[in-house]
Chain A
Amino acid sequence: MGKKLIEFRNVSFRYGDEQPWVLKNCSFDIYEKEWLAIIGHNGSGKSTIAKLMNGLLFPQEGEIIIDGQQVNEESIWSIRKDVGMVFQNPDNQFVGTTVQDDVAFGMENRGIPREEMITRISETLSAVGMQDYLLTEPHRLSGGQKQRVAIASVLAISPQVLILDEATAMLDPKGRTEIMQTVNNVQEKNELSLITITHDLQEVVQADRVIVMNDGEIWDEAIPRDIFSKKDDLREIGLDVPFVAILADELKANGISITKEPLNHEELLEDLWTLHLKT
């Protein structure tokens, strides 16, 4: 694993003095260049973590350190330049009056030269399939088009840390896979840390590491294969495992011995084939 980029040290947070604690003594690290998925039931604290990472909120207890700097009111302006985020509802982040302005906005703030901006606008919008909507007003887009544009805007600034909070929830499975492939390519090329908050188990499988939140606490932190081997416990806290893992279980119930917890179709088929050759 690379160098630590983000550290949460005993972080607790609540939205008001009278309100319940929604994060309770959370500690974890995020490394350079890794893809970390955060999963957890509705209201478990995932979006709150995301907002703490780019200083939209500050913890009442504990501290958050990004690239050696503590996140606080002074450091936040420089930190935000390095942390790009797509919100759960893209309407909350559109600033431009047209799609093209919206993508340009983040780059202007970072002083990217005009020539470069023009190139990146067209590159990122093509990458998400929105090149034909340059002059459209963002609020006139369909639900999925809004998410695509929001992702293009953050890819254009190529931040060191990229946080996607359910950023593909409104896309069909194929669109989702394509967009995540694009994001993943950018991540690898530019060596970013990618943090995806998602309920899509297919997507979680592809991450390097997973943090599972439960009621404001860190319930587990491990590689996807280890997380998804805890099937019953995950269901207990409102989560589930991917289709192949469910199928593998049903196969076991039918007396088929599965040697390795499968994470994708190919792994399960390979296992079945080996078994088939032996019988």
Chain B
Amino acid sequence: MDITFKNVSYIYQRNTPFAHKAVDDLSFHIPSGSFVAIIGHTGSGKSTLIQHLNGLAIPSEGEVTIGDFYLTNDKKPKNMKELRSRVGVVFQYPEHQLFEETVEKDIAFGPENFGVSKDEINKRIKDLIPAVGLSEALLERSPFDLSGGQMRRVAIAGVLAVKPEVLVLDEPTAGLDPRGQKEMMEMFYTLHKEQGLTTILVTHSMEDAVKYADHVIILNQGTKYMEGKPEEVFIQKEALHKVQLDVPEMVQFLNLFENKFGKSIPFERQSIKEIAQSIQHIVKGAEKP
């Protein structure tokens, strides 16, 4: 589904002395099938932005369009439930998403609510448990009697069980162990490709943004600060520093390398392997001046 924000503002505690504009006159367009990364400093409005995508937040000003759904301050979509079955949101803190008595019931809740048959739900759970790296032994446990990373995995399974067309992920790898981070991102990417999803990833991992996203939006104090291809955005060190962000670690290394060796290796989303080859050429003096 295409997603468009047109001059969207969102004000928390509107009409009180505590009113706070968390999203400020924000406009962008995400074509169906894109993989977009949203990046920004603490409190820049990322989580507020994505809550608009399934109608959890309604814009205070401006309009949000998601496929055929249209959200403005005075016009909520009639069929909010359908919107929520088509747009799945994984929240920043899994505890905010879990509530059932058991892990199994928690994962089944979404599809049940949207009228998926019992057999189909069981089949989905069977497939999802290994896909998110959980063990079946946990299915009967309360989702609150789990470790942080295990809760995160259950929350992700619960959203995927609905088979949404738009997948919205708010720092989905926070709290996962290194292997889990890698496998989870690979799984999202495979789903994205195979099922033609539209994927929106809020992340602090520039590495993941470089690896998976075809478009990056940088937020600062609720407004759009930059957008573009990852390899264009992530080399702009000064501009990123201004909004308290940094370039990806690989770019940092390439910058230091250039300072030391006086030769630059341009960043073009290479793999570590490719970078190593370029470095080898320079270090061994094989590179033509």
Whether A199 touches B43, Cβ cut-off 8 Å, given contacts A42-B176, A47-B148, A272-B283, is no
A88 in contact with B178 (CB, 8 Å): no
Contacts of B272 in A (CB 8 A): 243, 246-247, 250
Q: Can you name 20 A-B residue pairings with CB atoms under 8 Å?
A: A41-B180, A143-B92, A143-B93, A143-B170, A144-B43, A170-B171, A172-B39, A172-B204, A172-B245, A173-B249, A175-B244, A199-B178, A243-B253, A244-B253, A247-B276, A250-B276, A251-B279, A256-B284, A269-B260, A272-B279
Q: Are B276 and A240 in contact (CB under 8 A)?
A: no
Instruction: Name the CB-closest residue of A to B284.
Output: A279
Spell out B's residues near A (CB within 8 Å).
12-13, 18, 39, 41-43, 47, 92-93, 95, 133, 145-150, 152-153, 170-171, 174-182, 204, 206, 244-246, 249-250, 252-253, 256-257, 260-261, 272-273, 275-277, 279-280, 282-285
Bound CA span A15–B272, Å: 43
Structural contact, A42 and B280, CB atoms closer than 8 A: no
Q: Is the CB of A269 within 8 A of B257?
A: yes
The answer, among B92, B176, B245, B261, for a CB contact under 8 Å with A276, is: B261
A139 CB to closest chain B CB, in angstroms?
11
Alpha-carbon gap, A201 to B179, bound state (A): 12
CB distance from A232 to the nearest CB of B (A): 13
Q: Which A positions have Cβ atoms within 8 angstroms of B? A: 15, 40-43, 46-47, 88-89, 91, 129, 136, 140-145, 148, 166, 169-175, 199, 201-202, 235, 238-240, 243-244, 246-247, 250-251, 253-256, 265-266, 268-269, 272-273, 275-276, 279
Please give the distance in Å from A169's CB to the nearest CB on chain B. 4
Known: A169-B174, A170-B174, A276-B261. A238 touches B245 (CB 8 A): no
- The reply to whether B280 and A89 contact each other, CB–CB distance below 8 Å, is no
Q: Chain A's interface: helix, strand, loop or mixed, by majority?
A: helix
Closest to A148 in B: B42
- Taking the closest CB of chain B, its distance from the CB of A278, in whole angstroms, is 10
CA–CA, A148 and B43, complex, Å: 11
A42-B152, A169-B174 are known; give 8 further A-B pairs, CB within 8 A: A42-B149, A145-B42, A170-B171, A172-B39, A173-B204, A173-B246, A202-B249, A240-B178
Q: Are B280 and A256 in contact, CB atoms less than 8 angstroms apart?
A: yes
Q: How many A-B residue pairs have CB under 8 A?
A: 146
- Distance (whole angstroms) from the CB of A141 to the closest CB of chain B: 8
Cβ contacts under 8 Å, B261 to chain A: 272-273, 276
Contacts A15-B145, A172-B41, A199-B176; is A42 near B150 (CB within 8 Å)? yes
Q: Which of B92, B175, B246 is in CB contact (< 8 Å) with A174?
A: B246
Q: With A172-B245, A269-B256, A276-B261 as known contacts, state yes or no: A254 contacts B276, CB within 8 Å.
A: yes
B253/A247 in contact, CB under 8 A: yes
Whether the Cβ atoms of A275 and B147 lie closer than 8 Å is no
In the complex, the answer to whether B177 meets A40 with C-beta atoms within 8 Å is yes
Select one of A136, A166, A238, A272 contacting B179, CB under 8 A: A238
Cα(A272)–Cα(B282), bound, Å: 10
| Contact in complex: A199, B253 (CB < 8 Å) | no
User: Contact between A88 and B179 (Cβ–Cβ < 8 Å)?
Assistant: no
Task: List, in ascending order, chain B residues with CB within 8 A of A143's CB.
Answer: 47, 92-93, 170-171
State whether B175 touches A169 (Cβ < 8 A): yes
Least distance between B284 CB and chain A CB atoms (Å): 6
- In Å, the complex CA distance between A172 and B174 comes to 11
B282 cross-chain contacts in A, Cβ below 8 A: 276
Give the chain B neighbours of A140 by CB distance below 8 A.
12-13
A265 touches B252 (CB 8 A): yes
Question: Complex: how many Å from CA A248 to CA B107?
Answer: 42
The 10 closest A-B pairs by CB, nearest first: A42-B149, A144-B42, A250-B276, A240-B178, A238-B179, A254-B280, A172-B204, A174-B246, A143-B92, A88-B148
Residue of A46, A144, A253, A266 most packed against chain B (CB within 10 A): A144
| Chain B, residue nearest A15 (CB) | B145
Q: Within the complex, what minimum Cβ distance (angstroms) separates A62 from chain B?
A: 21
> Known contacts A89-B93, A239-B178, A256-B283: does B147 contact A175 (CB below 8 Å)?
no
* Alpha-carbon gap, A171 to B276, bound state (A): 29
* Alpha-carbon separation in the docked complex, A169 to B280 (Å): 34
Query: Known: A91-B93, A254-B280. Contact between A47 and B147, CB under 8 A?
Result: yes
Q: Hey, which chain A residues are within 8 Å of B256, CB to CB?
A: 265-266, 269
Q: Is the CB of A175 within 8 A of B41?
A: yes
Complex CA distance for A145 and B92, rounded to whole angstroms: 13
Chain A residue contacts of B148, Cβ below 8 A: 42, 47, 88-89, 166
